[in-house]
Amino acid sequence: MQTPSKVGRYPFLAEPFHCDFSQHLFMGHLGNHMLNAADFHSNERSFGMNYLSTIHRTWVLSRLAIEMESMPRAYDRFFVETWVEGAMKYFTSRNFKVSGEDGSVFGYGRSVWAMIDTETRQPTDILQVHNGLIHAYVETDKPCPIASPSRVKMTERARLVRTIETHYNDVDMNGHINSVKYIEHVLDLFPLDWYRAHFLKRFEMAYVAEAHGGDQLSFYMEETAANEYCIRIVKHVGAREGDGGELVEVARSKAKFANIC
């Protein structure tokens, strides 16, 4: 059997019902395609969730940064390339490249993942899986010319802009709020007219703690630079906010926009 290459390349289609009013792919759906590519890549190399589920382990996304020059249009066929840039005991870094059929580059992504025990929900040693097999697929020579996910810094000036309930469609196969759903909820904080005048150039998510179906999430936003916004997401534990309940941070996000000429 031929050994898989270090880099995986997977075809996708910008389905029309996954595109917004401008006929371009939603950022959330692009994120979902990236996560699918990561799953395909790791499963083909025997350290994916198909194997991990048999030993009560799973991957969880810790950080994600996506930076785009443009987005695929409806019906565009495109490719997501993915590769592991580095692997340590508790975290691994994975990169992405999004390109068209003609070789043009739409953009790139960077991510950080942890492996957890599905019973204890605690981090586990990635290098124990198949005696560190993941190291055989680390690729350090392929460029990913965007900055790594940053620390999303916020101040007390952040204001509460929305509180939502979570439901069935928010929950993934690991039993917690889907990583992509956070992206969708954050981008819904901006009105439709904003997107008529602005292109989402870079988007970051840092996942801090798990939230589950039925949790109430509150979103605090702060404008940190021109066309740059940071968002903190907290869940309510116990009583609701203002009723003595505890607020636990579950994620932070940063969205950088460019003006549409």
Please write the tens of the pLDDT for every residue from 184-193.
999 999 999 9
Tell me: do 109 and 22 sit in the same domain.
yes
Q: What is the mean pLDDT of residues 177-183?
A: 95
Counting residues of the chain whose pLDDT is more than 90, the rounded percentage is 89
The structure tokens listed for 136 are 């055989």
Whether residue 131 is contained in a domain is answered as: yes
User: pLDDT tens, 231-253?
Assistant: 999 998 875 555 557 899 999 99
SS in 3 state form for the chain? CCCCCCCEEEEEECCHHHECCCCEECHHHHHHHHHHHHHHHHHHCCCCHHHHHHHCEEEEEEEEEEEECCCCECCCEEEEEEEEEEECCCEEEEEEEEEECCCCEEEEEEEEEEEEECCCCCECCHHHHHHCHHHHHECCCCCCCCCCCCCCCCCCCCEEEEEEECCHHHECCCCCECHHHHHHHHHCCCCHHHHHHEEEEEEEEEECCCCCCCCEEEEEEEEEECCEEEEEEEEEECCCCCCCCEEEEEEEEEEEEEECC
Residue range 110-123, pLDDT digits in tens: 999 999 999 999 99
- Indicate if the pLDDT at residue 2 is higher than 80: no
Does residue 198 form part of some domain? Answer: yes
Q: Residue 244: what pLDDT?
A: 55
Count of domains for the chain: 2
In a domain, 169, yes or no: yes
Residue ending a domain, among 137, 167, 185, is: 137
pLDDT at 173: 83
Q: Looking at the domain assignment, is residue 3 inside a domain?
A: no
Residue 146, in any domain of the structure? no
Q: Report if residue 147 sits inside a domain.
A: no
pLDDT value at position 49? 93
Whether 135 has a pLDDT exceeding 90, the answer reads: yes
Domain membership of residue 58 (yes or no) is: yes
Q: What whole-number distance in Å separates Cα of residue 55 and Cα of residue 51?
A: 7
Q: Quick: pLDDT tens for 37-59.
A: 999 999 999 999 999 999 999 99
Same-domain status, 55 and 133: yes
Which of 104, 137, 170 is where one domain is finished?
137
Quick one: 173 and 130 in the same domain? no
* Least confident piece of the model among 95-104, 159-168, 230-239: 230-239
User: Which residue, 137, 170, 187, sits at the end of a domain?
Assistant: 137
Q: Which residues contact 45 (CB under 8 A, 6 or more apart)?
A: 4, 133, 134, 137
In terms of domains, do 227 and 172 share one? yes
pLDDT at 198: 98
Structure confidence at residue 39 (pLDDT): 97
Question: What is d(CA 10, CA 147) in angstroms, rounded to the nearest whole number?
Answer: 23
Same domain? For 129 and 165 the reply is: no
Domain with 173 in it: what CATH number? Answer: 3.10.129.10
**% of the chain residues with pLDDT over 70:** 97
How many CB atoms within 10 Å of residue 90? 15
Contacts of 102 (CB under 8 A, 6+ apart): none
Same domain for 170 and 115: no
Please report whether residue 112 resides in a domain.
yes
Whether residue 163 sits in one domain with residue 234: yes
Q: Which domain holds residue 251?
A: 159-259
Per-residue pLDDT reduced to its tens digit, 56-86? 999 999 999 999 999 999 999 999 999 999 9
160 pLDDT band, cuts 50/70/90, is very high
Do 168 and 210 have their domain in common? yes
118 and 29 inside one domain = yes
